[in-house]
Every structure is written in C-alpha cells, then in structure tokens.
Amino acid sequence: MKKTITILALALAFSVAAPAQSLLGGLLGGNTGSGSSTSSNGTDLLGGILGGLINTVYSAPVSLNGTYTYNGVAISASSSDGNILANMAGTALTSGVEAKADELLAKVGIKPGMGTWVFNAMDNTFTATFFNIPFSGTYKVHDGENTVTLTFGKVLKYLTVTGTLETNLNGASILFTPKNFTNLMKKMTAKAGQSSSALGSIASLAQNYDTFRIGFKLAK
C-alpha cells in the first residue's frame, strides 16, 4: 500500500514539475531560461517539495484497524551460511514450510478460517477468537520498527509478545520468534483444553536458518 501511494506521489510531483518551475522562475526573478541561479533555486525548491511528499508518505502510520480472518501460518525465513536450500526456503519454498506448520497446528485444532482477529484503532484494543474463546487485550504499532506489541488480558495472564508486522491490500501478517509463537499457542490451546504436544515440533522448522519468524496470516 505504501509503495503504491509513493508511486502516485512521484507521478504527481513530476507531472507538475514543468509548470511549477515556470511559476517558480517568475517568483524568483521572472527568468526560467538559462539563468543558472534561478534554475538551481527552482530545482532545489522542487526537490524539497518532492522530498516532503515522500517523507509524508513514508511517515504515515500503519493501521491494523478492522476485522480479519485467520488464513493460516505466515513464515519468514532466511540463511546467510551459504546453504542454498535454506536461502531458497526464505523465498520460493516458504509455502512448503508454511504448509508443514499448518499441518502441525491443525493437530491442535487451529486451521485456516477458524479464527478471527478484530483490531480497534479508536482505543487500541483487539480480540483474537480461537476455539470460540475470545482472547482480548491491547496493542501498539511501532511504525518506525514495523512491529506490533500485543498485550493479552487476564485470560492469558497478561502475556505480552512483540512481532514483525507486514500489511498489504489483502490483510496483514504478524510474525514472532518460534519460541514466542509456540508459547502463545500453548497458552491458547491449554485454555481451550486442547493438547499442545504437536507444537513442540514447530521449533524444528527453524533449523538451518539465521532468521526464522512464524505467525498469523490475516485476511480482510
């Protein structure tokens, strides 16, 4: 979404560049021809306007406001040790890792489409519903870090977890370290009286990766 807005902003800025320079030339001395001083001043000012547009776009806050459906596991994995397979798994083969994680979660009753997340930007509260149980709390988006902190309420004993946040036109993904994700899932399943034995295998998916994140894929 941010990239789309940025492209539109750039296109708009360049589309008005020529008439703007003529106008600036008039304001700066009435000469838009070969006068280097006027041309330089006009260019500098246009650059400042364009820079301001870009900074405004990129400083716009990320909003999670709305209702989302749990659409399966989201995975982010990468390796810098020269392991070609591991590096590919961070891109082209990520879907295979996600499928394995979905299989593990299905064993404890968590499947795509069976849960919802509702975020309310008015008071920064959220409710995640799994096993027909609402897990409520508050959240805070850290725009500069592309992360979100979730603080659950009494039901999960005020558990706090911070994850990487990725948003797009179709929804969002919240990714955690394997340890934090597994801990959160174990607490949720325990509250629902479900076995969490299969969740321990999620940690094995992180082998051979320098960076491994797992979390929720949310669809609007």
Residue ranges per domain, the chain? Answer: 2-58, 66-219
DSSP state, residue 109: T
> What residues contact 162, with CB distance under 8 A and at least 6 apart?
147, 148, 149, 150, 176, 180
pTM over 0.85: no
| 3-class secondary-structure state, position 73 | strand
pLDDT tens-digit profile, the chain (220 residues):
444 444 444 444 444 444 444 433 443 444 444 454 444 555 555 555 544 444 433 444 578 999 999 999 998 877 666 554 455 444 555 788 888 899 999 998 899 999 999 999 999 999 999 999 999 999 999 988 899 999 999 999 999 999 999 888 899 999 999 999 999 999 999 999 988 888 888 878 877 677 889 999 999 9
> What residues contact 168, with CB distance under 8 A and at least 6 apart?
1
Average pLDDT score, the chain? 76
Tokens of 146: 């592309």
Tokens of 123: 């008071």
* pLDDT tens, position by position, 40-72: 555 555 555 544 444 433 444 578 999 999 999
Q: Given this model, what pLDDT does residue 62 score?
A: 72
Least Cα distance to 90 among 77, 103, 100 occurs for 77
Q: Given this model, what pLDDT does residue 152 score?
A: 98
